[in-house]
Amino acid sequence: MDTCGVGCFALGDAGPVGNRTVVDSPGQEVLNQLDVKTTSETTRTEASIEMSLPTPLSGFEDSLDEKKFLPDPESLSRLEQQDLSPEMSKPRASKPGRKRGGRTRKGPKGPQQPNPPAAPLVPGHLEQANPLSTPMPKKRGRKPKAELLLLKLSKGLDQPESPPPKRPPEDFETPPGERPRRRAAQVALLYLQELAEELSTALPAPVSCPESPKVSSPTKPKKTGQLSACQGGEEEADAAQDEDFVLKVEAEDGEESEAPSESSSEPEPVVPRSIPRGSTSGKQKPHCRGMAPNGLPNHVMAPVWKCLHLTKDLREQKHSYWEFAEWIPVAWKWHLLSELEAAPYLPQEEKSPLFSVQREGLPEDGTLYRINRFSSITAHPERWDVSFFTGGPVWALDWCPVPEGATASQYVALFSSPDMNETHSLSQLHSGPGLLQLWDLGTLQHESCPGNRAHFVYGIASDHGCVWDLKFCPSGAWELPGTPRQAPLLPRLGLLALACSDGKVLLFSLPHPEALLAHQPPDAVKPSIYKVQSVATLQVGSMQLSDPSECGQCLSLAWMPTRPHYHLAAGYYNGMVVFWNLLTNSPLQRIQLSDGSMKVYPFHCFLAHDQAVRSLQWCKANSHFIVSAGSDRKIKFWDLRRTYEPINSIKRFLSTELAWLPSYNGVTVAQDNCYASYGLCGIHYIDAGYLGYKAYFTAPRKGTVWSLSGSDWLGTIAAGDTSGELIAAILPDMALNPITVKRPVERRFPIYKADLMPYQDRPEGQDHSSASSGALNPPKARTYAETVNHHYLLFQDTDLSSFHGLLHREPMLRMQEGEVHSRLCLDRLPLEAIHKVRFSPNLDSYGWLISGGQSGLVRIHFIRGLTSPLGHRMQLESQAHFHAMFQPSSPTEGSGFCPTSHFLLPSP
């Protein structure tokens, strides 16, 4: 017998109570009458089914073992008119896991006993009557719903009131004839409510742009005709009760759901959902619907506004104002080289290749530029982009960190190869002359165009070969340019670490250019090239055995991101990851040399990969965790407290660089396309393994992605590849499963595209367009000289001041076309290739991006569209805090005071 009371027995005709007898099966006349009466009622019942469950009627709580009999025909007619019609309008709730119209699964039948002789029954003995044990013939298929309801109603008539049965606990419900069953729906609802409350309290409140339009109070939209007819009063009451809960749940994943435009007039399609749509269809999702003032959807910009708060709070906790007080630049150690002495260290190319810049939305002037070595062109008055020439291919690049609120000049350190055609073998150590360059970019503001050109301030001559990576100390190494120092000490600009091809890691303490150049003679040769001894040389091995050839070249560096920044990690060609303690006093790890510098040996190392370690990234929120990418196609997450095995190891493709943003539990990976499957080459976000999410495909790329950089302030990554295209992509909130992210194309946009265009020797009056179409099939040059003789570079810049109509603009269409149909020319020199990309880590210039590549041209762009009034307010607050921390100097005070005691209040 199923829970709905499907008949297993029937009753005879009604007569006197003393003459009622129980029969085995109903007569054919009774069944015919029931079928005729209920045919029309069943039709009306199925046509008026609603989404709410029927309420239990009185008498249904009794056990099925109690016998109830059909009433007389007059009682049946009254019941049909009173109780049956309202009950018919409510649908029968189907059990989960059972299809409508299917059969009920029955268990094995127990042993049957012989039928007792029929005996007359009296009202006082109805409850003591024996149950019917005669096996009843069962109909194939379900009986009509009206007949089932009649049988239910018949069991509650002509019976004395029985004592109420024992009720199970409130968390359980007991269907008739079955074991107690937990109210799973209510328990799940309470669990989701608690989970939503925890998430809403754990995460900071989402920040909306002050200029964004206000969302009006939510109103319930009109339903379609079918839904309006089916909706009842009970459903509206339930929706009103669950309204707040559903809004909290959808507010968490609302930024990932694609919301239609507010101006769209198309009706929203009806989609089946686990939660009734009527409870949330009229609610506006906060900060998810509508468009931001920059033209991007609000659900795309919400993670950007969130990252501003998170990064600000994290740096207040993890960064410091002053570290490594013993490493102060000394003026007499900086030896200025003469022109003859500096010549071997200078890049060979004295002039840049010809290039032209086309800016979206501005008329093309067709001007071809050629600039000298260590020179730049003025920033464009409308787009603010800057370009300068370093003299050789750029393979290492980094910004100098500046404290939040210090409105000072921004500096960039870079290394360019001396020769445009130079190649290196990674399997062998290499040494030779090279030049480390320091460039002053001026004060990069968000409100005005840079007034000064980028200029080369000084260079450092090095004999340690190629520099594959360089990193500044994250904080605590910068001080004010006007800091008074007792001679020969100089105010410090920053601490810089170099990963060299001879297997060594060099640490330089860089002085402020104003203080260093003040010690030059008036007739000094420009540019200023210095020879200086590093403050520390980091080597592998130990005091007894120090052989750099065992590990090979040093290819990657990672500085400990949390104060006091005394650990430095390096990845080597043989797969080793090495750690040095810069503040160690152990005589086995630190040796002081006669020239004042020191040699440091590692305190820990382990074999992380089977081949070269190409990239290292430290977790900025917790310094116990680090991630490495190797040429063995593996990405490994490590806990430095137990390095005998990785936390997670992923083998996907050949990774070139990693970016680990502070607000994400995973890394963004750039890849070489040599091992990638068709259609999967590009940039991926990979979870560290804690949340267990699948990889998120951030952006497809056709060529090898050489460099990747992430902005902590914007939650955005930028990537440059061998095809000469620089793109940026806004990452979604990865606290949610990225599988719910819709339309990722709205999150990425091009910054510029560099193309190698052929040209012919043309007369003076020939225009730019005819030159670009002169040679259709130019010779495929393999050297720099052949390439620049027949080609020039064309930079096509995107208007980054606004993103209105981005999907239909020409740069966006060109980028999407290149992602599918671009062709790579592997048999020529890729002069347009981009090797290094870096976002500014400083709050004062958080929207600026620098990139350089094979041509030796370095370009700086300002992504104005991603800045917001929130960031400007943070800048003002940080400036006020910085000026309160740094007290003004007095000329009467002695010049020998340390900045930790004279200029800085105690750091928080």
Interval 444-486: pLDDT, tens: 888 888 888 899 999 999 999 999 999 999 999 999 998 888 8
What gap in Å lies between CA 757 and CA 770, rounded to an integer? 12
pLDDT given for residue 543 in this prediction:
64
Residue among 835, 902, 34, 183 at smallest CA distance from 482: 902
Given a contact cutoff of 8 angstroms between Cβ atoms, the answer to whether 790 and 778 are in contact is: yes
- The CA-based angle 518-520-524, given to 5 degrees, is 135
Percent of the chain with pLDDT over 70: 64
- Model confidence pLDDT, tens digit, residues 551-596: 889 999 999 999 999 999 999 999 999 999 999 989 889 988 887 7
For residues 582 and 567, is the Cβ–Cβ distance under 8 A?
A: yes
Residue 862 has pLDDT above 90, yes or no: yes
Q: What is the pLDDT of residues 632-688, one digit of tens each?
A: 999 999 999 999 999 999 988 899 999 999 988 899 999 887 776 666 788 999 998
pLDDT score for 24: 45
Mean per-residue pLDDT of the chain = 74
Per-residue pLDDT at 489: 92
pLDDT digits (tens, 9 = 90+) for 100-139: 444 444 444 444 444 444 444 333 443 444 444 444 555 4
- Check: CB of residue 564 under 8 Å from CB of residue 584: no
- Which tokens sit at 33? 């009458």
Q: Say which range, 313-322, 478-487, 537-546, has the weakest mean pLDDT.
A: 537-546
Mean pLDDT value across residues 234-243: 41
- Identify the pLDDT of residue 737: 81
CA–CA separation, 407 vs 805, rounded Å? Answer: 34
Does position 835 have pLDDT exceeding 50, yes or no?
Answer: yes
pLDDT in tens, 94-108: 444 444 444 444 444
Give me the pLDDT at residue 372, please: 94
pLDDT at position 234, please? 42
Find the mean pLDDT for residues 310-338. Answer: 92
pLDDT digits (tens, 9 = 90+) for 268-296: 333 333 333 333 333 334 446 788 999 99
| pLDDT at site 49 | 41
Lowest average pLDDT, out of 145-154, 203-212, 409-418, 693-702, goes to: 203-212
Residue 609 in this model has a pLDDT that exceeds 80:
yes
Q: On the CB side of 369, how many CA atoms lie within 13 Å of its CA? A: 20
Give the long-range contacts of residues 873-879, CB within 8 A, separation 24 or more: 874/308, 874/312, 874/843, 875/405, 875/446, 875/843, 875/844, 877/405, 878/404, 878/405, 878/843, 879/405, 879/407
Q: Are 294 and 803 in contact (CB under 8 A)?
A: yes
Cα–Cα distance for residue pair 24/19, rounded to 1 Å: 16
pLDDT at 327 over 60: yes
pLDDT attached to residue 530:
94
